[in-house]
Amino acid sequence: MTNYNPAAAFRESVDGAGVELAYAGLGTFLKGDARNIDDVTDVDAAVLGVPYDGAVSNRPGTRYGPTAIRRASGWWAYLSDYKGGLTNMQTGKQVNFDDLTVADCGDVPVFPMDGETTAESITAHVATVASQTFPVMLGGDHYCTFPAVRGFAEGRNYDDVGFVQIDAHTDTTSESPVFGTDFHGSSTALIADSEYVDYGNVSQVGIRGYESPEFFEFAEETGLDLYTMRDVEDQGITSVVADAVASAAEGTDAVYVSFDIDGVDPSVAPGTGTPVPGGLTAHQALKTMEVLGATDAVSAVDMMEVAPRYDTDEGTQKLAAYLLVTLLERQFAE
């Protein structure tokens, strides 16, 4: 049989045929290569999705977050492919996404009625990626961050990990009479009780709403580095995030960053399960990722609690993708 390939001839002869539109293609993050999880040693970052929302306390729907974030990220890949090198008008920096190599390893196996097995799956898959490159996890509810931090530490063979959490909530409820000990409101408590992290290296930014009556005393006693939205307003987001990541990094092997999209004000990012008014602006959120992305200690990131069904304009997943792109370009593409 002859080698009949008119498709290749068309692509070679027509200008623009090699440009993949933002909404076309296979839907990998930043249109990166789809890879097996054990084949990412040659890339800057590898993405894992966790389509799980079995540990939420309010509105479900974060199981659809990974797919939505991936699709939204195609815009930045398209721009880079279409325009070549880019100028980031937010930072003033020249960015070449050809210098940022990202692979997408698909979604980890989840078990909707079995949180324990799901957690084991997340730990194993994040550990596999972390042993090779920079892991990026797309959630999923925030409980999933606990096994991810564990997997990150195990994959890197780290003894001490710092944790920076961008969030409306502290997630420090060690036990709930309704939800037990393993739900999205307990993730930071579980992380701080693990062998790899303690509260002295946990920094939280954007906290608001309501916590337990003696929460400030709890933060002082445990050494939790706490920045409420009032602190952000008083001190400025750049100063707050710089202090937060420095505190998390002190005496640790590396820092894991977890961004709960409900840290952003719901007027900007309504697509989440537990929205709280008075949060970060889009500008403050992007600045947060700029600062974190420029910090050498940051070695893993996740984006959690995106529930796209509550945002008919799709702005939440677009912002979530932009936040991850901002951190990654500061790390690898400037």
Q: Is 39 annotated as a binding residue?
A: no
Token representation of residue 209: 């709403």
Residue 132 makes CB contacts below 8 A (sequence gap 6+) with 38, 40, 41, 46
DSSP, residue by residue, 78-128: HHHHHHSSEEETTTTEEE-GGG--EEEEEEPP--TT-HHHHHHHHHHHHHH
Q: Is 262 annotated as a binding residue?
A: yes
Residue 31 makes CB contacts below 8 A (sequence gap 6+) with 20, 25, 73, 74, 77, 78, 81
* CB atoms inside a 10 Å sphere around CB 268: 18
Locus of tokens 């990722």: 289
Please report which residue ranges of the chain form alpha helices under DSSP H.
6-13, 65-83, 115-130, 145-156, 187-192, 215-222, 229-235, 237-249, 282-293, 315-332
Give the three-state DSSP class for 3: coil
Q: Is 167 annotated as a binding residue?
A: yes
Known binding residues are: 142, 167, 169, 171, 260, 262
Known binding residues for Mn(2+) are: 142, 167, 169, 171, 260, 262
